[in-house]
Structure 1
Amino acid sequence: MRVHFIAIGGSAMHNLAIALHKKGYQVTGSDDTIFEPSKSRLDTHGLLPEEFGWYSEKITNDLDAIILGMHAKEDNPELLKAQELELKIYSYPEFLFEQSKNKTRVVIGGSHGKTTITSMILHVLHYHDKQVDYMVGAQLEGFDTMVHLTEENDFIVLEGDEYLSSPIDRRPKFHLYQPNIALVSGIAWDHINVFPTFDNYVDQFRVFMSSIINGGALVYNEEDTVVKELAEAAENPIRKFAYTTPDYRVEEGKTLLDTPEGEMPIEVFGGHNLSNLAGAKWICQHMGIDEDDFYEAIASFKGASKRLEKIAEGSTSIAYKDFAHSPSKVSATTTAVKEQYSNKHVVACLELHTYSSLNSEFLKEYEGALKSADEAVVFYSPDAVKIKKLEEVSAAQIEEAFNRNDLIIYTNPEEFQEYLKQKNFSNSVLLLMSSGNYGGLNFDEVKEWIEH
């Protein structure tokens, strides 16, 4: 089968391209720019386009399918040519569904925690040598790619993103998977450029729950009142399984999880991650892993890449990097770090980088998000605001939104880096939260500042 990717360099897209290549498909692709690590990984498999740009001549009648990424625009010359030739055009999630029609589809949804829960499930299955197909949004230890597709595996585990499928398919990705088993971890308004109101955003999860096939199962976090309400109101003939955060305690910087066999030390920490673990346990049980085997495996789970990822450790100091950027994630992550290291000075740095976080109307959603930190810093680039064509936000607006009058605010990358460089981190935890890189912060240097 011959497949061409329009916008092959994306995080998910390049992983799917590699997975199909490994499956024996003939794969080609285009993109106007490709960053690391996508670039090297595509190159390793002989899939890196010879030159960047869009070339309509690459689109020919002998292609079996086009896979269209979100990075492409509606007027993309390759897309226009594919439409003209009436080729079959799939969005990324549409194609994954095609690949999994005959499998048991397990879909993990929620505004937060879905990558971690999917990663926990895959870690447990991998530990017990249970082979499954999968798609997850982060690189995992022990896994070559973020997408794995076969003909023979019975299950496929999919991270169910609520963002749009493609430039020409405005449906949320997770509406296309038709799960046999689904999980919803929590709902907190996000992607305001697409879902302009909270009610509109919540509706997407209602549709997702209604897409579970008859006789299927819904696992849901009943501590989230919105999720609980939706789950209980779902009328399709499915089985429902609620979960809550399990009992645990923190002792000398180590989290001990309460299990039927007694307390067990685990690598991950924070109430939100313990809640994620409870959801993952239910899913694994639905997939044939019993409770004892789940606990045995999860003890060694260290977390998904960029999710509370330890990047440096000195004699009395430590640094974490986290992908958190939405208000609920920032709050959960900061609280988790302070709980784990209650006797240390927690310095939490947040970069406002996404469309939502830089929107002056949405900013108020961040109220109290950094309250658990002993020292709170917000960095944003006025250039990023201009690029996204948003109204300018001022330092005063940010301070008011976070409702913290000792908030430190930087708009200049060099000044922010200098602040970190000059800081004495003894008996401190540095938490760097961003989906960007603070205007070019070198994380190897951060390591030196923490470890010296």
Structure 2
Amino acid sequence: MNIHFIAIGGAAMHNLALALHHKGETVTGSDDTIFDPSKSRLEKYGLLPEAFGWFPEKITSDLDAVILGMHAKEDNPELLKAQELGLNIYSYPEYLYERAKDKTRVVIGGSHGKTTITSMILHVMHYWDKEVDYMVGAQLEGFDTMVRMTDDADFMVLEGDEYLSSPIDRRPKFHLYKPNIALLSGIAWDHINVFPTFDNYVEQFQIFVDSMTNGGAMVYNTEDENVVKVVENATAHIKKYPYQTPEYTVEDGETLLETPDGAMPIEVFGKHNLNNLAGAKWICQHMGVVEEDFYEAISTFTGASKRLELIAKSKDTVIYKDFAHSPSKVAATTSAVKEQYGDRTVVACLELHTYSSLNPEFLSEYQGALDAADVAVVFYSPKAVEIKKLEPITAQQIAAAFKRDDLTIFTDPADFKAFLFEQELKNKAILLMSSGNYGGLDFEEVKGLV
């Protein structure tokens, strides 16, 4: 097949392009700019566009499919040409469904935890040499790409993102997959720029549950009351499998999971990750992995990229970075580090970087999010607020939102870096939470602190 990507450089898009290339399809693409790691990975396989920009002449009638990324606009010249020619135009999730409609589709949904849960499932499958197709939102150890697509695999495991599908398809991605097996980990208001009210946001998860195939299996977290309500209100004829956080203990900085065969040390930590693990176990059992085999495999799981990722460690210092940015994720991640390192001073640093986190109306959702930290720091860039064309916010607004008298707030990257590099690190746990980089912080340089 001949497949063209409009906006090939995105994290998800370039991985799908690579997966189709590995499958033997003819892949082309365009983008107005591409950064690493996408750039070098596309270049390695000869898929990097010769020039940046949009070229309608690339769109011809011999294309079997055009895949449209969110980075493109509705008036994109290549999109307009594809529409004019009447070509098959797919959003990213539409195309994934098209290639997986004859497989058993396993979709992991939720405001938080979905990347980690999907990663846990794939780790277990990989450990036992079980071939599955997949799409996950982080690069995993032992996996070449974030997308795998074959003709032979019976299952396709999909991370179910609730964000929009494409510039011309405003449906959330996870509405398009029609799962046979699904998981719902939690519902905490996010993407305020798309879903302006909490009720509107919750409605998307109701649609997701109701989109399941008849007789499908829904695995859901009973510790989240919004999840329970959504699953109980389901109109689809589905089987329901509840889960909750399993018993565990923390001893000398090591987490021990209670199993039928006794306490088992595991690499990941934090109540939220143990909760994720319980959900992943149910899914793996539905995919044919018995409980005993699941425990053996999960004991070697070290975590998904950018999710509580250990970047430096010494005898009495640890430094983690995490993708956490929404209030619920920040609270869970901070609490996890404090629980794991209760005898150390936890310095939690949060960058407000997303549209939601920089929105004055949303800021109050962060109340209490950093309470578990001994030292709490917030960084935000007024320039980022300006670039995103948002209403300016002040340090006073942030302090009022977090409701923590000793909160330290930085707006200058150099000041934040100086604070970080001047820390006395002995007996400390440093946590850097952001979907950005604190205005240009070099994490390789941070590793050198320890």
Q: TM-score range by the shorter chain?
A: over 0.9
Cα drift, residue 68 of structure 1: 0.3
Distance in 2, matches of 1:218 and 1:258, equals: 24
Aligned to 2:197: 197
Distance in 2, matches of 1:315 and 1:137, equals: 32
Distance in 2, matches of 1:324 and 1:335, equals: 12
Aligned to 2:170: 170
Aligned to 2:293: 293
| Superimposed CA distance per residue, residues 144-170 of structure 1 (whole angstroms, 9 cap, x where no aligned partner) | 000000001100000000000000000
Cα drift, residue 315 of structure 1: 2.4
Q: CA-atom RMSD, angstroms?
A: 0.5
Cα drift, residue 235 of structure 1: 2.8
Aligned residue pairs, count: 450
Cα drift, residue 84 of structure 1: 1.1
Cα drift, residue 305 of structure 1: 0.2
Distance in 2, matches of 1:422 and 1:127, equals: 42
Distance in 2, matches of 1:91 and 1:55, equals: 19
Aligned to 1:335: 335
Paired residue type of 1:412: D
Distance in 2, matches of 1:195 and 1:45, equals: 38
| Superimposed CA distance per residue, residues 41-60 of structure 1 (whole angstroms, 9 cap, x where no aligned partner) | 10111100111111111111
SS at match of 2:265: strand
Distance in 1, matches of 2:77 and 2:321, equals: 38
Once the two structures are overlaid, the 10-residue window that deviates more, 420-429 or 217-226, is 420-429
Aligned to 1:423: 423
Aligned residue runs from structure 1 range 388-407, under 5 A: 388-407=388-407
Paired residue type of 1:65: A
Distance in 2, matches of 1:235 and 1:261, equals: 39
Paired residue type of 2:255: T
Distance in 1, matches of 2:362 and 2:294, equals: 39
Distance in 2, matches of 1:401 and 1:429, equals: 25
Aligned to 2:55: 55
Aligned to 2:307: 307
Distance in 2, matches of 1:296 and 1:304, equals: 18
Aligned residue runs from structure 1 range 107-146, under 5 A: 107-146=107-146
Aligned to 1:241: 241
Matched, 1:153 2:150: no
Distance in 1, matches of 2:246 and 2:3, equals: 45
Aligned residue runs from structure 1 range 250-289, under 5 A: 250-289=250-289
Output the TM-score relative to the length of structure 1.
Answer: 0.99
Matched, 1:25 2:35: no
SS at match of 1:258: strand
| Superimposed CA distance per residue, residues 270-325 of structure 1 (whole angstroms, 9 cap, x where no aligned partner) | 00000000000000000000000000000000000000000001221010010000
Distance in 2, matches of 1:419 and 1:238, equals: 52
Identify unmatched segments of 5+ residues in structure 2: none
SS at match of 2:303: coil
SS at match of 1:33: coil
Distance in 2, matches of 1:246 and 1:445, equals: 38
Paired residue type of 2:400: E
Aligned to 1:325: 325
Paired residue type of 1:389: K
Distance in 2, matches of 1:238 and 1:134, equals: 23
Aligned to 2:382: 382
Identify unmatched segments of 5+ residues in structure 1: none
